[in-house]
Amino acid sequence: MSVQIGPYLLRNNVFVAPMAGVTDRPFRQLCKQLGAGYAVSEMAASNPRLWATEKSSRRTDHTGEMEPKAVQIAGADPQDLADCARFNVERGAQIIDINMGCPVKKVCNSWCGSALLQDEALVEKILHAVVGAVDVPVTLKFRTGWDRLNKNALNIARIAEDAGIAMLTLHGRTRADGYKGDAEYDTIAAVKRSVSIPVVANGDITSPEKAKYVLEQTGADAIMVGRAAQGRPWIFREIEHFLRTGSHLPAPYVDEVRALMDEHLRAHYAFYGDFLGVRTARKHIGWYVRDLAGGEEFRQKMNLLESIDAQLQAVDQFFESQWSFGERLQYRLSDDLQPA
C-alpha cells in the first residue's frame, strides 16, 4: 500500500522515523535504498540564531537525496516555526514535519516537542502559522498526550486536520512515558477513525509481524520504524516484503552486510569529515555488530580507534574473522529497544 502526502505518492507505507543524531542524510539514503518508502530528516531548530551553525546546515543538506525531501522542525513560537518552515522550503524541503513528539528537554530547553501537547491553543496557533507560511504539505508528529491521565491525541488530531495538516504520525506513548513501558495502539486506532488524513503508527515496531499487527490493530495507513532500524536498515525491505507477500525474506548475506556497511561508512565520513566522521560512525558500527557473536567485544576495541582507515580495517577484519562469505547473517534478534 502506498500513501499520498500532498502531491507525493510514496513508494510504500513503511517509513523510517526521524532520529536526531541517527537519521542523517547517509542513513536516510541507505534506508530508502533498502526499502523505506519515506524518511524525514533530523530536527531543524526553529531558533533563527541556530540556522547558520554547522550542525544545522548539515541537517538541511539534501544533496542527492531521494524525493520527497522532508524536514522536521521543532520549537514553540508560531512565528519562529513559520519562518523556519519557509527557510527550509527555500533550501529544498518539499514537506515540513512539525515535531510535537520529542520528550527530550534539551531539544529546545523547555516548552516544545511533546511538551506543547499540554497547550492546545498554542498547538492550534503553531499549526495554522506553519501551514499558512509555506505552500508545501505540512505534517505533524506527536504523542498520545501529556501523560496517561491527559491523553488528548484526539483533540490534537482534530485541531491538526482543521488547520490543514496533510498527515499525522502518532507514537503510541505519552510524553510522561518517555520510552518506558510498551507503546499502545488503541489511541492510534481512535485517531485513525476520527480523521480523514493519512495516519502513521509508530512505536516499538521491531519485526515484519509486529508491523502487520500494528497496521491491523490501528487501521493506520503506514507504519514508522525508529530504533529497530539502527544497525539493521534492511528491516524496511523485510517488512515491505512480508506485508506484500506474507512470507519472510531470508537474512542478508554476510558479504552484502559488509558491503552495505562499507558504503554507509564511506558516505558517513564524506558527510561529516574525518574527525567527526570517525566519532559519529562508532554508534552505527556498534549497532551493526550488536547482535552478532563477539560484537560487544569488538565494539569496545573499535571505539578506541581514531582514524577512518583504522576503523574501516577493523570492521573488515571483524567480518572476515567471524564468517565465511556466502553465508547468511546469523543474528540474535531481540525485542529490547534502548531508550533514546
Ligand X SMILES: Cc1cc2nc3c(=O)[nH]c(=O)nc-3n(C[C@H](O)[C@H](O)[C@H](O)COP(=O)(O)O)c2cc1C
Where on the chain is the footprint of ligand X (CB under 6 A)? 17-22, 42-43, 72, 99, 101-102, 141, 171, 202-205, 225-228, 337, 340
User: Does the annotation mark 108 as catalytic?
Assistant: no
Query: How many Å apart are CA 14 and CA 141, to the nearest integer?
Result: 16
Task: Please state the closest distance from residue 46 (CB atom) to ligand X, in A.
Answer: 13
The answer to the question of whether 277 is labelled as a binding residue is no
In the complex, residue closest to ligand X by CB: 226
Task: Please state the closest distance from residue 22 (CB atom) to ligand X, in A.
Answer: 5
In three-state secondary structure terms, 87 is helix
The answer to the question of whether 261 is labelled as a binding residue is no
Q: Are 120 and 152 in contact (CB under 8 A)?
A: yes
Q: Are 145 and 175 in contact (CB under 8 A)?
A: yes
In SS3 terms, 57-74 reads as HHHCCCCCCCCCCEEEEE
Q: How far is CA 38 from CA 4, 10, 168, in A?
A: 11, 7, 14
The answer to the question of whether 83 is labelled as a binding residue is no
Task: Please state the closest distance from residue 57 (CB atom) to ligand X, in A.
Answer: 17
Region of residue 44 (phi > 0: left; psi between -120 and 50: alpha; otherwise: beta):
beta
Nearest to ligand X of 183, 292 (CB atom) = 183
User: In degrees to the nearest 10, what's the CA dihedral of 263, 39, 307, 232?
Assistant: -70
Task: Please state the closest distance from residue 327 (CB atom) to ligand X, in A.
Answer: 29
Q: Are 73 and 88 in contact (CB under 8 A)?
A: yes
Nearest to ligand X of 101, 295 (CB atom) = 101
Nearest to ligand X of 36, 225 (CB atom) = 225
Among the listed residues 31, 84, 102, 112, the single catalytic one is 102
Task: Please state the closest distance from residue 316 (CB atom) to ligand X, in A.
Answer: 27
Task: Please state the closest distance from residue 307 (CB atom) to ligand X, in A.
Answer: 26
In the chain, alpha helices (H): 25-33, 54-59, 78-90, 120-133, 153-163, 186-194, 208-218, 235-245, 254-272, 274-289, 295-302, 308-322
Q: How far is CA 10 from CA 84, 210, 286, 317, in A?
A: 25, 21, 31, 39
Query: How many Å apart are CA 246 and CA 46, to the nearest integer?
Result: 43
Nearest to ligand X of 178, 294 (CB atom) = 178
Query: How many Å apart are CA 153 and CA 173, to the nearest integer?
Result: 10
The answer to the question of whether 47 is labelled as a binding residue is no
The answer to the question of whether 273 is labelled as a binding residue is no
Q: Positive or negative, the Cα torsion across 40, 41, 42, 43? A: negative
The answer to the question of whether 64 is labelled as a binding residue is no
The answer to the question of whether 171 is labelled as a binding residue is yes
Nearest to ligand X of 144, 311 (CB atom) = 144
Q: Give the count of alpha carbons within 13 A of 243, CB side only.
A: 25
Which residues are known binding-site members for FMN? 18-20, 72, 141, 171, 202-204, 226-227
List residues with catalytic annotation.
102
- Binding site listing: 18-20, 72, 141, 171, 202-204, 226-227
